Structure 1
Amino acid sequence: MLRGFYTAASGMMANQRMQETLSNNMSNAYTPGYKADQGTMRAFPKLLIEQMGTKSIPGSQGLNLPVQNEVGSLNTGVYLQEAVPAFTQGDIKETGISTDLALVQRSVPDADGFVFFNVQNETGEQRYTRNGNFTVDGDGFLTTNQGYYVLDQDGAPIQTGGMEFEVSAGGDLSVDGQAIPLGLSYSSNVQDMIKEGSGLYRLEEEANAPVDIRTNPDINFEIQQGFLENSNVDPARTMTEMMNTYRSFEMNQRVLKAYDQSMQKAVTEIGRLR
């Protein structure tokens, strides 16, 4: 009975975590460049049940031989193993704002390859983002909405001096006739990237570092100024998944309640002294 109790409880916990993941996706449905998380459920290792006994052999010596009969396997519950971002290109929308940049990925040599903007976080470390909703701070540097510096090809903050600049399709930012290559990186295995919050990604330890996008001629991309990449979250699909997850949570809750009532009956009635 207790095993079934914990199995139902694990299902509730897994569905609760899945609901949190879906809720986070829904809340970022209109965040530029956001990549939806996809939760993956996994079962705990199964238990193999066997019947163990002995079998008497007729004879003068009365031999007893061990016997094992396989009964079957028993599942002990599920858990949410991880939430993996779905790196697919979001829709492009026009904003008409010069600091908005959309990174459009046409074709790449690797199936799991993806292209990112290079930015600098608050501790001065290089990070990666798909959110091109940039702005210019009071010192004339191109930054993200969180105030992180947008980096050039050499890893230095970009000084624009104001909102008047142009960005070519190849990723060159022009200010007063001077071309500054934007810092753009390509990761051949995007699953090595880990979400860090505020639209930033960092590289998993011991993974291959993203390379400059211009070093590989097979990477076909385009920068569109005055445009933004929308989130790839599908609100209608996400709402449907949230409803299904909630129903699954309720089902496990009812099973848990039934086990609780059975345990209460065993304690108060079956175990009653007469």
Structure 2
Amino acid sequence: MNRTMITATNTMNQLQKQIDMIGNNLANSDTNGYKRKEATFSELLVQQFNNQRNVEAEIGRLTPNGIRQGVGAKLGQAQMILTQGSLKNTNRELDFALTNSKQFFKVLVQDGENNDVRYTRDGAFYISPTGNGEALLVNGSGHPVLDENDNFITFPENVERFNLEGNGEVTVRDRNGTETTFDLGIVQLEKPQFMEQFGGNLIGLPANMQNLGVNEAEIITNIQGAARNGISLSQRMLEASNVDIGKEMTDMLNVQRSYQFQGKSISMADQMMGLVNGIR
């Protein structure tokens, strides 16, 4: 296999990952609070040929000396874009929309035998009765929503009204007029590029933080105490995804053309090799 085929094959493999990423964005264009991902590319290793022994002969050259032959491009980073999505009014008391683009709700997810804290922008919450006269606040997938201290949020089962008081504090009133308050658990992302994306519109901390040279405190901040004054939250509203379908379709066309170009390069290289092999 010649260099042209190697370069094109390497690049096609990476372009396919970008196509998958764009497809995932389009599939989640109607998902509440979904944040699109954007790919950036960088060059693979480049081989340098210094074909000019006399550097003095290259005076006045506008390009760098020598010849550089690359071996394709690679997906350098898949970045999560945190721009704010549009808000839609639902007039439902258990719908909450975060209006600070770096803030996320906390939920607890059971992963095998472990319980892990995950984060989401989807503020569509529901009531799940526990069977002992109390109810649990959960998200659309049934995962418990956590408060600022990572505890379950519970309240009387005969709840009648939810009211957002501010700073993420919610007051619950049951049919007897008894009021219960709880603080929604909210974190702020400091380094979103380190977050790992999971299914169910959830993100979480990477398992290899030590290898990445970061710790949890550098990636996220749990908003507690006086810092909760910085929480920006609206009730009876949900945040739409920040996916621009027009942009994603344009990016898809550009990637497909690049993919076709690489495929054409392989075909042309194969034809040239056939001509060479056919010389007698």
Paired position in structure 2 for 1:181: 183
153-162 vs 170-179, greater mean Cα deviation: 153-162
Aligned-pair identity in percent equals 28
SS in 2 for 1:173: strand
SS in 1 for 2:182: strand
Quick check: 1:38–1:86 contact (8 Å CA) kept in 2?
A: yes
SS in 1 for 2:154: coil
| TM-score, normalised by the number of residues in structure 2 | 0.81
Q: How does 1:1-274 map to 2 (within 5 A)?
A: 2-51=2-51, 71-105=66-100, 114-122=102-110, 123-139=114-130, 140-160=135-155, 161=157, 162=159, 164-176=161-173, 177-204=179-206, 205=209, 206-209=214-217, 210-215=220-225, 217=227, 220-267=230-277, 269-270=278-279, 272=280
CA-CA distance at 1:159 after TM superposition: 1.5
CA-CA distance at 1:169 after TM superposition: 2.9
* Cα 1:11/1:163, change in 2 over 3 Å: farther
SS in 1 for 2:149: coil
Gap regions ≥5 residues in structure 1: 54-69, 107-113
Quick check: 1:99–1:163 contact (8 Å CA) kept in 2?
A: no
70-79 vs 19-28, greater mean Cα deviation: 70-79
CA-CA distance at 1:44 after TM superposition: 0.5
SS in 1 for 2:232: strand
CA separation in 2, counterparts of 1:163 and 1:31? 28
Paired position in structure 2 for 1:67: none
Amino acid corresponding to residue 28 of structure 1 in structure 2? N
CA-CA distance at 1:79 after TM superposition: 1.4
The alignment yields a C-alpha RMSD, in angstroms, of 2.2
CA-CA distance at 1:51 after TM superposition: 4.0
Deviations 1:149-178 (A, max 9, x none): 100122111124357322223211212322
* Cα 1:218/1:142, change in 2 over 3 Å: closer
CA-CA distance at 1:219 after TM superposition: 6.5
| Higher alpha-carbon Rg | 1
Paired position in structure 2 for 1:64: none
Deviations 1:218-243 (A, max 9, x none): 97332211110110111111111101
Deviations 1:53-99 (A, max 9, x none): 9xxxxxxxxxxxxxxxx632112111112311001111111111222
Quick check: 1:213–1:219 contact (8 Å CA) kept in 2?
A: no
Amino acid corresponding to residue 201 of structure 1 in structure 2? I
SS in 2 for 1:153: coil
Quick check: 2:164–2:170 contact (8 Å CA) kept in 1?
A: yes
Amino acid corresponding to residue 116 of structure 2 in structure 1? E
* Cα 1:200/1:10, change in 2 over 3 Å: same
Quick check: 1:91–1:230 contact (8 Å CA) kept in 2?
A: yes
CA separation in 2, counterparts of 1:207 and 1:32? 29
Quick check: 2:51–2:67 contact (8 Å CA) kept in 1?
A: no
CA-CA distance at 1:22 after TM superposition: 0.4
CA-CA distance at 1:251 after TM superposition: 1.1
Quick check: 1:136–1:163 contact (8 Å CA) kept in 2?
A: no
Paired position in structure 1 for 2:61: none
| TM-score, normalised by the number of residues in structure 1 | 0.83
CA separation in 2, counterparts of 1:100 and 1:202? 22
Gap regions ≥5 residues in structure 2: 54-64, 174-178
Deviations 1:119-143 (A, max 9, x none): 1011322121111122222432111
* Cα 1:150/1:89, change in 2 over 3 Å: same
Count of residues in Structure 1 that have an aligned counterpart in Structure 2: 247
